[in-house]
Amino acid sequence: MIIQLNSAGKRFNFEWILRNINYTFHSGKSYAILGPNGSGKSTFLQMIAGIISPSSGEIVFQNDREQLESENIFSHLTIAAPYQELIEEFTAAEMISFQGKFKPFLPGVSNEEVMEIALLKNESSKQIRNFSSGMKQRLKITLAVLADVPVVLLDEPTTNLDQQGFGWYLELLKKFSGKRLIVISSNLEREYSFCDDVIDVTLFKS
């Protein structure tokens, strides 16, 4: 997968959040999008995800030399973010089953293994509304990373995770990243220290 931004920018009302982004992302590499709070990291990630459209320029998605329409890019990627909601009325088992129907998990990974990897084996019948913030975050990250898609996007992935959860996060990516395209939005070095390339969004402010 290749994601190419050509003079891409985003504004809300009359304020430009990001401008003149020229950058190309390639499968097999991991990238970190950096910047202080409010600098546009999440906006950058959401443009890559196709959640929001650029106000200027274009974003080109290419998979196996075939250009993809932006409205279809959702089937080729997953995203996990603190602002992302889970279905609170579902149990963990129901959420995993539901997600798997839309985005199947990596080959050989069963729903039960997803539960184990998320460290929720003993919580399978508990409604998500009764989960701690850390449990919800582990589930969101697990669903994103284990989806069988070429692009994984993570926005501030260790939010609500304790030190043990941080170690779990690193091991999860180490084991399951493969040759996919990984993009992490963060301002904490421990979340992205393994990334191949770093992008400072403050360079795209004018």
What is the C-alpha separation between 42 and 155, in angstroms, rounded? 7
Q: What is the pLDDT, as a whole number, of residue 206?
A: 65
CATH number at residue 68: 3.40.50.300
Q: Is this prediction's pTM over 0.75?
A: yes
Rg (CA), the chain: 17
Whether the CB-CB separation of 118 and 139 falls below 8 Å is answered with: yes
Give the model confidence (pLDDT) of 60-77 as tens digits. 999 887 888 877 888 999
**Could you give the number of structural domains in the chain?**
1
Give the model confidence (pLDDT) of 144-181 as tens digits. 999 999 999 999 999 999 999 999 999 999 999 999 99
Give the model confidence (pLDDT) of 22-37 as tens digits. 999 999 999 999 999 8
- Bridge partners (DSSP) listed for residue 37: none
DSSP classification of residue 53: -
Domain of residue 61 covers 2-204
Within 13 A of 40's CA, how many CA atoms are on the CB side?
Answer: 24
